Amino acid sequence: MAVVVDQFSRQAVGWSMGSLMNNSLVLDAVLMALWRRQPQAPVIVHSDQGCRFTGNEWQAFMRDHNLVSSMSRCGNGHNNAVAESFFQLLKRERIRRRNNSTRSDARADVFMLPPRPK
């Protein structure tokens, strides 16, 4: 799961879930945040130093959508505290209290979607 958390409101404004943590998963989450917020000015997007955030595809995406990339130096996780807190709360309140047998069930539960017909 990839999530975009608004640092001011502390709300998750974009998210995506998939079987692999890859570029498209992250870009889908950022696209959702852009679609929901419709920013009129440049926006700072803070991330960790994972390979998804340092490659050419990410940098081109950032340029194309008027976004400014930000990340802490290696070993400094303080700036990711909001996202880490989000995931800790998600795990504690939703994931550990449920027993989902499939990824589809987990996605429906986490995003509170109606169940898919089987």
pLDDT for res 53: 82
**Are residues 86 and 3 in contact, defined by beta-carbon separation less than 8 angstroms?**
yes
Give residue-wise pLDDT tens across range 81-113. Answer: 777 788 788 777 766 666 777 777 777 777 665
Sketch out the chain's domains with CATH numbers: 2-108 (3.30.420.10)
Give residue-wise pLDDT tens across range 14-65. Answer: 988 888 888 899 999 999 999 999 999 999 888 877 778 888 899 999 999 9
Q: Report how far residue 80's alpha carbon sits from residue 96's, in angstroms, rounded to the nearest whole number.
A: 22
Residues 6+ apart with CB under 8 A from 45: 4, 30, 62, 67, 68, 69, 70
Identity of the residue numbered 54: T
